């Protein structure tokens, strides 16, 4: 499973995830929005595995970073959310993901080592830990060089081919579902890409008869959006869409719904000054699957040839591995109950001083709010007072927590928001690490995000679309008080924006906090 949180809308790919997974869960929850999932406190053990921290959570499961004492190795453990345990269909899909992954032996497919069931009947899967995060996380750092993109696409192609050889379709290839792990070699620590998250995976013989419509609109094949029977060429289309994105620097389509993906118009020219490579990608994106390559191996081979015929098998790691993850450690302590959190700041309507400029920039409308809860030994998941927003932050960022709604502009309604920081006054003219997340009233993204002229450098605005959520993200570095400031605005609904502002001492922490933001609208 992924080692860096991600969903979400992200910088060059989506804050997966982001998540990249999307920051928004569509539809009302069956029970309380965070029931036993984002709210769950860190267990000390899952089966025989000591738990280190929570990696992330989604609508159906929570993923924990744990430690295999027998094999002296970190692992990721995916646990079905308690409120879905009684749903036999969801439970079956969860277990099928493990069975599908277990069928395949490939360095480019996430490995399932073990499976089990907790005392409360929740199933779990023990999987390879992706310590280099997801492609969505990687694109938060910078765009890939063409050689890096080709390596990654080739490896993902091998992973998909391995799945297809075992009769399994993935059906949801996108940046948040491409994971990276570190491997040691004579050259040092290197990165290998893996295909993960088979939540939509399906056996090909079943897909040819009956297909549940699903997938991510920007990457989904037309026949999949239409609910037709599928074969391996559906995954080829998604990989070609990802290829277009990485090579051209923009998405081939801007579909916001699966209905829009049913009959896509031809994508615009890629503008990469390589007509051979562009022809390969466009053939993979053919609306009629009969016009695509016979299989993914043919597609990736043609792309390699068009791009010079050389593939770097494993680039050097871009994030230093955490040595603590491969060292034995004492059994983690149990976390306390929710009511043992630090006291919240007194409820009040407020404009945070360092956000005033942002209010003007986001004048289309805005909102923010907070609430907190302990979720891991080194991190906490904080939830606003309305249970609309959650964000996971380092424990040290919870010295001052404010869960109350805010009024972004006089005369507007109060909106959900949450803020938390590393000390009192963290969000004043003497800033310290912290995060602010709030809902804004608006029917479109602003023309620009809040500016930070006191920072040494500010990157370009990164516009993205993930799972139908358009977003804008800007990273600034060399900022007073904290090195990194991140601004993100996401179009959640037709009349709601989500505004995220993060101040952090390092980019990695900022990325993890950004990817953890979740809303329940």
- The one-digit pLDDT tens for each residue of the chain (521 residues) are 433 222 223 333 333 222 223 333 333 232 333 333 444 567 888 989 999 888 877 667 888 999 998 888 899 999 988 877 777 777 887 888 788 788 788 999 988 899 999 988 889 999 999 888 888 888 877 788 888 899 999 999 999 999 999 888 888 899 988 999 888 777 777 888 999 876 444 444 433 333 334 457 889 999 888 888 889 999 999 999 999 999 999 999 988 777 888 899 999 999 999 999 999 999 999 999 999 999 999 999 999 999 988 887 666 665 555 444 433 333 333 333 333 323 323 333 333 333 333 433 343 333 333 333 333 337 888 888 888 898 989 989 988 888 888 877 655 678 899 999 998 878 877 889 999 999 888 878 887 777 787 888 888 888 887 656 788 898 999 998 889 999 999 888 888 888 999 999 988 888 889 888 888 76
Report pLDDT for 468.
Answer: 65
Burial 362-388 (b: 16+ CB within 10 A, else e): bebbbbbbbbbbbbbbebbbbbbbbbb
45: which strand partners?
A: 50
Burial 211-226 (b: 16+ CB within 10 A, else e): beeebbbbbbbbbbbe
Rounded to two decimals, the pTM is: 0.56
Instruction: Say how far apart CA 352 and CA 409 lie, in whole Å.
Output: 12
Show the tokens assigned to 59.
């609508």
Specify whether 350 is located in the same domain as 476. Answer: yes
Report pLDDT for 32.
Answer: 32
Residue 373 contacts residue 338 (beta carbons within 8 Å): yes
Instruction: Say how far apart CA 468 and CA 24 lie, in whole Å.
Output: 10
CATH number of the domain where residue 220 is located: 1.10.510.10
Specify whether 352 is located in the same domain as 501. Answer: yes
Instruction: List residues with catalytic annotation.
Output: 172
What are the distances in angstroms from CA 25 to CA 50, 366, 414? 30, 20, 22
Q: Which of 264, 282, 306 is the last residue of a domain?
A: 306
Report pLDDT for 412.
Answer: 66
> Does residue 13 lie within any of the structural domains?
no
Taking the CB of residue 329, how many other CB atoms lie within 10 A of it?
Answer: 11
Taking the CB of residue 304, how many other CB atoms lie within 10 A of it?
Answer: 19
> Does residue 25 lie within any of the structural domains?
no
> Does residue 174 lie within any of the structural domains?
yes
Specify whether 348 is located in the same domain as 488. Answer: yes
The domain tally of the chain equals: 2
CATH number of the domain where residue 412 is located: 3.40.1000
| 78 in a known ligand binding site | yes
Specify whether 284 is located in the same domain as 390. Answer: no
Report pLDDT for 168.
Answer: 84
Q: Which of 252, 287, 306 is the last residue of a domain?
A: 306
Specify whether 354 is located in the same domain as 420. Answer: yes
Specify whether 380 is located in the same domain as 462. Answer: yes
Instruction: Say how far apart CA 105 and CA 503 lie, in whole Å.
Output: 42
Specify whether 409 is located in the same domain as 270. Answer: no
Report pLDDT for 501.
Answer: 92
> Does residue 24 lie within any of the structural domains?
no
Pinpoint the alpha helices (H) of 26-131. 88-103
> Does residue 131 lie within any of the structural domains?
no
User: What does residue 355 show for φ and ψ, rounded to 5 degrees?
Assistant: -105, -5
Q: Which of 256, 289, 306 is the last residue of a domain?
A: 306
Specify whether 381 is located in the same domain as 294. Answer: no
Taking the CB of residue 32, how many other CB atoms lie within 10 A of it?
Answer: 12
Report pLDDT for 170.
Answer: 85
> Does residue 118 lie within any of the structural domains?
no
> Does residue 34 lie within any of the structural domains?
no
Specify whether 263 is located in the same domain as 362. Answer: no
Sheet holding 112-117, edge to edge: 45-46, 49-57, 61-68, 73-80, 123-128, 112-117
> Does residue 119 lie within any of the structural domains?
no
Specify whether 408 is located in the same domain as 474. Answer: yes
Domain region containing 282:
144-306
Specify whether 263 is located in the same domain as 148. Answer: yes
Chain mean position to CA 257:
19
Report pLDDT for 20.
Answer: 29
Report pLDDT for 413.
Answer: 79
Instruction: Say how far apart CA 115 and CA 359 lie, in whole Å.
Output: 48
Specify whether 376 is located in the same domain as 503. Answer: yes
């Amino acid at each position: 499973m992924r080692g860096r949180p991600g969903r979400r809308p992200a910088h060059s790919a989506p804050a997966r995830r982001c998540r990249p997974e999307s920051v928004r869960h569509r539809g009302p929850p069956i029970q309380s929005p965070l029931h036993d999932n984002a709210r769950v406190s860190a267990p000390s053990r899952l089966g025989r595995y000591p738990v280190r921290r929570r990696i992330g959570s989604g609508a159906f499961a929570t993923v924990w970073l744990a430690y295999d004492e027998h094999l002296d190795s970190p692992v990721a453990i995916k646990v079905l959310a308690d409120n879905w345990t009684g749903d036999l269909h969801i439970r079956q899909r969860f277990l099928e993901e493990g069975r599908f992954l277990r069928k395949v032996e490939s360095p480019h497919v996430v490995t399932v080592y073990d499976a089990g069931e907790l005392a409360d009947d929740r199933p779990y899967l023990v999987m390879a830990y992706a310590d280099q995060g997801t492609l969505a996380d990687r694109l938060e750092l910078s765009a890939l060089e063409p050689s890096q993109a080709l390596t990654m696409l080739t490896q993902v192609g091998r992973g998909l081919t391995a799945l297809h050889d075992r009769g399994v379709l993935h059906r949801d290839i996108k940046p948040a579902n491409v994971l990276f792990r570190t491997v040691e070699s004579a050259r040092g620590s290197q990165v290998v890409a893996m295909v993960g998250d088979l939540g939509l995976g399906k056996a090909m013989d079943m897909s040819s008869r009956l297909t549940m419509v699903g997938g991510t609109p920007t990457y989904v094949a037309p026949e999949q959006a239409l609910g037709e029977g599928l074969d391996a060429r559906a995954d080829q289309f998604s990989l070609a869409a990802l290829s277009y994105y990485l090579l051209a620097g923009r998405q081939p389509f801007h579909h916001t719904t699966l209905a829009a993906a049913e009959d896509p118009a031809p994508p615009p020219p890629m503008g990469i000054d390589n007509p051979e490579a562009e022809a390969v990608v466009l053939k993979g994106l053919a609306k009629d699957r009969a016009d695509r390559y016979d299989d993914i191996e043919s597609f990736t081979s043609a792309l390699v040839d068009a791009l010079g015929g050389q593939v770097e098998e494993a680039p050097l790691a871009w994030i230093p591995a955490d040595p603590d993850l491969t060292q034995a450690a004492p059994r983690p302590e149990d976390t306390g109950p929710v009511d043992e959190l630090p006291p919240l700041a007194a409820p009040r309507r407020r404009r945070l001083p360092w956000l005033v400029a942002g209010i003007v920039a986001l004048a289309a409308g805005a909102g923010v709010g907070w609430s907190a809860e302990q979720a891991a030994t080194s991190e906490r998941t904080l939830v606003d007072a309305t249970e609309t927003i959650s964000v996971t932050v380092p424990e040290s960022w919870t010295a001052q927590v404010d869960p109350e709604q805010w009024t972004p502009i006089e005369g507007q309604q109060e909106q959900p928001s949450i803020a938390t920081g590393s000390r009192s006054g963290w969000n004043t003219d003497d800033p310290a690490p912290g995060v602010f997340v709030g809902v804004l009233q608006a029917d479109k993204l602003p023309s620009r995000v809040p500016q930070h002229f006191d920072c040494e450098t500010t990157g370009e605005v990164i516009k993205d679309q993930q799972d139908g959520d358009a977003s804008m993200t800007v990273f600034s570095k060399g900022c007073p008080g904290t090195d990194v400031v991140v601004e993100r605005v996401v179009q959640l609904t037709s009349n709601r924006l989500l505004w995220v502002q993060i101040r952090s001492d390092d980019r990695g922490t900022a990325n993890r906090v950004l990817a953890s933001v979740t809303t329940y609208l």
